[in-house]
Structure 1
Amino acid sequence: MPSAVILLHNANQLADDDRDRFLACLSTEEVLRYQRFLRPLRQREFLLGRILLRFAVARLAGVATDAVCVTERKNQAPLVQLPATSATPPHFSLSHSRGWVACAVSADTALGLDIETLDAERDVDAIGRAAFSVAESNWLASRPAGDKVADFYTLWSSKEAIFKLMSAQAGGAAPPDQVAAGVCLRSGPGWHARTWSQQGLAMTLCSGDRLQSVARICLRGATPSAWSQQLS
């Protein structure tokens, strides 16, 4: 049955030495994109995301991390390629939020991942009315006050994740409403969603096929060798 792994790490934990070591692993095109980000935190998020991607793909495919080739593509997710003798690269999806970076991989099915930092100071009802469909904003307005912030971010991350999933699929359809008959949907034609709350984040993983299992791992340390030891 299909399965997936989500690796989570905090870019705020990267030291300057970590940054320099990770930059040496990137392609020329990736370094140029890294340099175009103006905010240091966004640079660290991008950098950590590309290293997590290489690590996750290599681990799932059974190849060395430096054997994973990542190519930039304008307005698209990067292209991942493995050595000619290896199998087809795994499916993947990346997301970031306020320093947190997540990478999901699966050998079995297309993915769309989104993480969002919960912020109780935002006017989630107003944002919902502006960004959600009528059915979705009405559903949010009906939620208990104590649950509303978490419910808003769960719905928001679900919409982002399904958009990423459908963008990754050939001829992807327009993302559907996430609420029908007053109920927040968890699946539909060609998509299945799983949601969690972790590290102050709302997290949604959408998949083309229903996943039997999803491992969520918050990594420690700043080297692939340390991550490998944690996962062994």
Structure 2
Amino acid sequence: MPTTKPDSAQVHALSLHFVLLKSVQPLPLHWLNHSELQWLHGKSAKRTQSFVWSRALLRQLCCQLLNVTQQQVVISLPAEQKPELWVAGTKYHCSVSHSKDMVAVVLSSIGAVGLDVEYICPQRDKQPYATLYPALRNYCVSDQQFYQRWTALEATLKLSGGDLFALLAQPEPELAPELKCWQQLGYQFCVASQQHLTSLQQQQVLQLP
């Protein structure tokens, strides 16, 4: 049986779970609580899909790593602030991102964290970005360069807050002290932290129990 207190010893510095959605994949609504199900009323199909999967992934990740029940995982409802996560009364840090068919969540045991995921589109015309935004001016030569820079900016914002366009307007904006960027399955990932990233466990989830 799950313990009443989270077992934080099982958590890596960062634990990241992601899922590639399929059109026929049923929504894991059983992972949501009553308030979250109520919040879905009137939302678009796309918003519903990203909300349900991000909540379900994050709650399942907490249950798996912290040995708690899903009822002990409380996630604040969407607002302008980043989500707050409480597990059996203990506050944890998390971040959520989604792009095209990808939904990803990260759970941190070392403090605040920011996550951004972007679908890599080879057909994207990057030159308008170089012209419009000083922060991207020298980063539009290749897809790898462009998406690594973009996700680093977004992950930094999710970590520290602020305005995206204000950041893009700076030729050399201050990024997070610690960034980990990589490409996987046609997507660019970036995780931002104030702390040194000693370990990052990642897992693709094929289905939820």
Name the structure 1 match of 2:205: 219
Query: Counterpart in 2 of 1:63?
Result: 68
Instruction: Answer whether contact 2:130 2:138 (CA < 8 A) is retained.
Output: no
Q: More helix by proportion, 1 or 2? A: 1
| Cα distance between partner residues in 1 of 2:170 and 2:18 | 25
- Give the CA deviation at 1:33: 3.4
Which of 153, 160, 163 is the equivalent residue of 1:159?
Answer: 153
CA distance in 2, matches of 1:46, 1:101: 9
Q: Provide the residue aligned with 2:32 in structure 1.
A: 26
> Offset at 1:14?
5.7
Contact 2:15 2:201 (8 Å CA) reproduced: yes
Matched, 1:82 2:87: yes
SS at match of 2:180: strand
Quick one: distance in 2 between partners of 1:12 and 1:122? 23
Q: Distance in 1 between matches of 2:129 and 2:168?
A: 19
Distance 1:176 1:124, change over 3 A: closer
2:136–2:168 CA contact under 8 A, matched in 1: no
Question: 1:178 and 1:91, CA in 2 relative to 1: closer, same or farther beyond 3 A?
Answer: farther
Letter in 1 for 2:13: S
Over the aligned positions, Cα root-mean-square deviation in angstroms equals 2.7
Structure 2: 5+ residue stretches without partners = 1-11
The residue type paired with residue 114 of structure 1 is D
Distance 1:214 1:48 in 2: 21
Which of 147, 168, 180 lines up with 1:194 in the alignment? Answer: 180
Cα deviation digits, residues 46-94 of structure 1 (max 9, x gap): 111000111122333331223212231422233322224xxx3321100
Equivalent residue pairs, number: 195
- SS state of the match for residue 155, structure 2? helix
Relative to the length of structure 1, the TM-score reads 0.73
SS in structure 2 opposite 1:140? Answer: coil
Tell me if structure 1 keeps the 8 A contact 2:113–2:192: yes
Aligned runs of 1:1-232 on 2, under 5 Å?
3-12=13-22, 15-16=25-26, 19=27, 22-38=28-44, 40-84=45-89, 88-130=90-132, 132-133=133-134, 136-141=135-140, 143=141, 148-167=142-161, 180=172, 191-220=177-206, 222-224=207-209
SS in 2 for 1:109: coil
TM-score w.r.t. length of structure 2: 0.80
Deviates more, 1:153-162 or 1:27-36: 27-36
Q: SS in structure 2 opposite 1:89?
A: strand
